[in-house]
Amino acid sequence: MPPSFVYDLSKVDFTRLVVSLEGIQQIIPQRFEMAQLDGIVHIDEPADTIIGVKYVTENEFWCRGHIPGRPLMPGVMMIECAAQLSAYWVMKKHPERGFIGFAKCDETRFRGTVVPPATLFMIAQMVEQGRRRTVSRCQGIVDGTLIFESLITGMSV
């Protein structure tokens, strides 16, 4: 039996962006091929949880080579997407920390694939916040199915 979602998804309107791509780019520096977030659909400050979206298209830079004729979103790109979501949330709430860079991921499980075209929603729920380090429990969802989960650690760099 797969684990449950870390957040009650019945509270979320997945059709409405609360933060646009432009709003994300005001906070995190990733651009061009490395910009992996397209928007934020939900923020729950008391629960320290944020939900973002990535519209996975056939034009992604990795489609041509991973895997020819049957493109699959690389797991590392899913992790990067969730890490950017986590970094956005920390940098938005604590701008004094500066840039939050990826430090590690733990307890990572891939439970499905992301095949373009697809809409990948990511949940990032903060579980630990220190002066320089932050840890978030992240999950990726496509069509209501849990695709991946990971504990992602970010660090002020």
DSSP conformation class of 70: S
Give just the sign of the alpha carbon dihedral 75, 28, 44, 52.
negative
* 93 has pLDDT over 80: yes
Domains of the chain in start order, with CATH, are: 14-156 (3.10.129.10)
* 1 has pLDDT over 70: no
Question: What three-state secondary structure class fits 120?
Answer: strand
Q: 10: alpha, beta or left, given left = phi > 0 and alpha = psi -120 to 50?
A: alpha
Write down how long the chain is: 157
* 23 has pLDDT over 90: yes
Full-model pTM: 0.96
94 is catalytic: no
Catalytically annotated residue among 30, 48, 66, 74: 66
Encode pLDDT of 26-85 as tens digits: 999 999 999 999 999 999 999 999 999 999 999 999 999 999 999 999 999 999 999 999
